Amino acid sequence: MSQTRTALRACWETPELIAIIVDLLDTTSQARCARVSRTISEHALNALYRNVKQLVPIFSLLCPLREDFRADSGGMKFVDSLNSTYWNRFNRYRSRVRTIETDISEDCIGNLSEVSRLDLLTTVPQGEIIFPSLRKLVWIGDELGTQNLLLLFLHNRLSDVSLLLAAQGLPVILDHLTYRCPGLKSLNFETIDIPHQGFDWTPASVACARVVDALPLLRTLVLPPTLLNPDVVHRLSVHPCLQRLSVTSFTLKDTHESGIASHHDSSPAHPFANLLSLSIDSKNLLAFTDPLLKSPCLTTINVDVIDQSDLSTLIRLISTSSPGVKNLSVQTAQYPVFGRELPLPINLALLLPLLRLESLQTLVIDHPVPPELDDDELGTLSAALPALVHFQLCVRTHCGADYKVPTLGCLIQFARNCRKLVSIGVYWTHR
């Protein structure tokens, strides 16, 4: 009994163990723990406010908010003018926030009145950061009026920022990022709206180029495909740390690039010297093939094919320019437009260039029609790619076929040739 009591006491005297226990509790239990004792309260408050999903509850700790639906009000405001007393009390909570992920369309903070917004922006203690421990920010908002609130959260300790904004306000926010967040390691900025056909992307492209130059530690970058131009590509190609570049939402999940790019492994003068992963649309890949696919460290390529007629060209380019690639995924349009002719099926002639990629571990080809391949042809493919671990071919097909297609017998070929295979998905027929 004494040993049990001693072990229990040692547990509650070890801060790391208390933190682990509190993190496993639900939110209600954590809130109760925050009122138990000072020791447990600190860990409970950390767990409660470490990851913020809604801004209204966190700002209500600064000063209570109330709804106000008068014509001259935004719908919500602070019950009192903010002062040092409120901010001093807020210190107990704001330093605990490490992650903010908010969608302004669902977060009532977007209804904060102009007076309260101005009060919030102008009363922050001089020289202080509103959330000094914030390291990751995810912000979704299509209203230009709410972007001034976003500026509250930008500071030099942020390392990961994801923004989904209105295209018109993108240049201003990017300019703020260049001097407010110099330590960013991951940046994802996309547009939530589709601008009209004559929309001028030049200011956003110029701001994007400045961001690339101003963030020397950047390792991951996601940007809209419309911003990729020769100037931006050149600046990206000489960036010393960039490892992952994405200009499309299509990408392989849970893919681990083998190895870590090192400045000692490749010449700094080489374009994209440390690029490990590339996710890109076919239009941009064809426009910037030479600098992108010639990266010496490139192991993962995800391609979103816009024009089906480019598929054969893209496969040949990848197989010749990046023979060391280990993870390759190719997606064509999944939902054929009504009234249009279906694209041609995948056949062995189209896949033949891939047979030289002997190091390939993941191969995913997403196509809207069944493949024109029999079991023996898939056997040829599997024999040439013995390192395959994951393989998918036309698993989301939307129609049938009146030509040769794989059968369950193809599994025998993969079992015989790909001894490391752990997952496979192929369109086949039971006939």
* Burial of 393 per CB tally in 10 Å (0-12, 13-18, 19+): buried
Closest residue by Cα to residue 355 from 378, 389, 371, 374: 378
Q: Over 50: is that where the pLDDT of 31 sits?
A: yes
Residue 40 is assigned to a structural domain of this protein: yes
What average pLDDT does the segment 85-110 reach? Answer: 90
What's 297-346 look like in SS3? CCCEEEEECCCHHHHHHHHHHHHHHCCCCCEEEEECCCCCCCCCCCCCCC
Residue 124 is assigned to a structural domain of this protein: no
SS3 state at 141: strand
Q: How far is CA 85 from the centre of its chain?
A: 39
* pLDDT tens track for 210-245: 999 999 999 999 999 989 999 999 999 999 999 999
Number of domains in the chain: 1
**CA–CA gap between residue 93 and residue 156 (Å, rounded):** 20
Residue 8 is assigned to a structural domain of this protein: yes
Choose between 292 and 146: higher pLDDT. Answer: 292
* pLDDT tens track for 45-77: 999 999 999 898 899 999 999 887 654 555 788
Choose between 207 and 13: higher pLDDT. Answer: 207
pLDDT band at 104 (very low <50, low <70, confident <90, very high): confident
SS3 state at 66: strand
Write out the H or E segment, with its range, that includes residue 163: strand 160-165
The letter for the amino acid at 377 is E
Residue 39 is assigned to a structural domain of this protein: yes
pTM over 0.85: yes
pLDDT band at 263 (very low <50, low <70, confident <90, very high): very low
**CA–CA gap between residue 246 and residue 189 (Å, rounded):** 10
Residue 259: the pLDDT is 46
Tell me which residue range forms the domain holding 26: 1-49
Structure tokens at 96: 């605990």
Cβ atoms < 10 Å from Cβ of 34 = 19
Residue 21 is assigned to a structural domain of this protein: yes
* pLDDT tens track for 182-207: 999 999 998 887 776 678 888 899 99
Residue 20 is assigned to a structural domain of this protein: yes
* pLDDT tens track for 325-369: 999 999 986 655 555 677 788 999 999 999 999 999 999 999 888
Residue 25 is assigned to a structural domain of this protein: yes
Residue 368 is assigned to a structural domain of this protein: no
Q: Are 284 and 315 in contact (CB under 8 A)?
A: no
**CA–CA gap between residue 407 and residue 410 (Å, rounded):** 6
* pLDDT tens track for 374-393: 999 999 999 999 999 999 99
